[in-house]
């Protein structure tokens, strides 16, 4: 009787443990699914924001003839004030980024997100304030200054993503890319020992594209051409490797399967090597472009501030 009770207790404990494990597994799966859903929604937010913004611009432009908003009074006047304050608030992000004493204002990434949102919503409100139409000379100067600054901000955002891991990731370091490229070069040296001509051609191509460019236009041309050159070199390398291995197979008795596997392995390393070279070329170009953009963007913004101040004074005093 006691043995039977003990066996029942053991079975009950085992069943209870299995149920607990099952519950834990279900909870983990629910957390993973919730994380995936949340990540998907977060990744879709920029597209949703862009869709709403473009829809608002389209509707506002199509309805401009009805003059629902006027710049002199009512909602249109309020939109001008709100939009102008948003544009002025864009200065908060560079101030927070530059001065550590302002760390109490919050995380830099949060301010960066707010900076981008304000840089889009502010101009949209100003366009509704102007009813998508031109006015006096001073208002036109302020309007076009705002549009230039907005376009400059979009360009800067694009360049920023080229030199960082995503929009909020760390900056891509040129030294790390070059070190990785050097490691790939060592692996290729070992793989292509049977055909030094191919190896030398690959290394000569990379040395050429990584040589210091003569100027920004030369750097841009190199970015445009390095991908085409890489693809041509890969095709030529594949053909030469197959020929070389076929000749070597006669003496070392390689099978066709072994030759195909070796060709795939070598071409894979060649692709990694040339892709690394392309990344170095692109990063070098976009770093120079980002530095140039910084030099131009700030004066354009202050030009906008001055034009906006002149516009406000002209509207209220004359």
Q: Going residue by residue through the chain (318 aa), what tens digit of pLDDT does each one get?
A: 545 545 555 554 555 556 666 656 656 565 565 656 666 676 777 788 888 889 988 988 888 888 778 878 888 888 888 988 888 888 888 888 877 777 777 777 888 888 888 888 999 999 888 888 887 788 888 888 888 988 898 898 888 888 876 655 566 676 777 777 777 777 777 777 777 788 888 888 888 888 888 888 888 888 888 888 888 888 888 887 777 777 666 666 666 777 778 878 888 888 888 888 888 888 889 988 988 998 888 888 888 888 888 888 887 776
Domain positions in the chain: 68-171+296-317, 174-288
pLDDT value of position 102:
73
pLDDT value of position 244:
72
pLDDT value of position 183:
76
CA separation for the pair 46, 160 (Å, rounded): 16
Name the DSSP letter for residue 66: G
pLDDT value of position 40:
66
The label of the residue with tokens 């891991």 reads: 165
CA separation for the pair 163, 288 (Å, rounded): 10
User: What is the number of alpha carbons within 13 Å of residue 219 lying toward its C-beta?
Assistant: 16
Verdict on whether the full-model pTM lies above 0.75: no
pLDDT value of position 268:
85
Coil, strand, or helix at residue 72? coil
b/e map 28-58, b = 16+ CB within 10 Å:
eeeeeeeeeeeeeeeeeeeeeeeeeeeeeee
pLDDT value of position 20:
60
């Amino acid at each position: 009787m006691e043995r039977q009770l003990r066996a029942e207790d053991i079975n009950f404990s085992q069943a209870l443990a299995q149920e607990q494990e099952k519950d834990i597994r279900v909870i983990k799966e629910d957390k993973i699914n919730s994380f995936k859903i949340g990540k998907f929604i977060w990744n879709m937010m920029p597209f949703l924001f862009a869709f709403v913004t473009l829809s608002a611009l389209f509707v506002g432009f199509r309805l401009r003839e009805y003059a629902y908003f006027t710049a002199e009074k009512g909602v249109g006047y309020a939109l001008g004030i709100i939009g102008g304050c948003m544009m002025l608030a864009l200065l908060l992000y560079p101030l927070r980024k530059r001065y550590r004493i302002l760390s109490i204002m919050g995380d830099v990434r949060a301010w960066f997100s707010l900076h981008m949102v304000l840089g889009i919503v502010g101009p949209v409100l100003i366009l509704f304030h102007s009813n998508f139409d031109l006015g006096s000379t001073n208002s036109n100067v302020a309007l076009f200054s705002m549009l230039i600054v907005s376009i400059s901000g979009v360009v800067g955002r694009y360049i920023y993503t080229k030199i960082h891991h995503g929009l909020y990731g760390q900056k891509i370091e040129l030294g790390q890319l070059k070190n990785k490229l050097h490691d790939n070069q060592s692996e290729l040296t070992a793989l292509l020992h049977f055909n030094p001509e191919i190896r030398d051609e690959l290394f000569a191509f990379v040395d050429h594209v990584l040589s210091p460019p003569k100027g920004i236009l030369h750097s841009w041309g190199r970015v445009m051409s390095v991908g085409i050159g890489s693809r041509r070199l890969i095709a030529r390398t594949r053909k030469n490797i197959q020929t070389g291995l076929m000749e070597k197979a006669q003496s070392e008795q390689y099978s066709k399967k072994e030759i195909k596997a070796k060709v795939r392995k070598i071409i894979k390393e060649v692709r990694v090597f040339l892709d690394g070279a392309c990344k170095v070329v692109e990063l070098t170009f976009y770093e120079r472009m980002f530095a140039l953009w910084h030099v131009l963007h700030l004066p354009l913004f202050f030009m906008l501030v001055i034009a906006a101040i002149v516009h406000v004074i002209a509207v209220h005093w004359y």
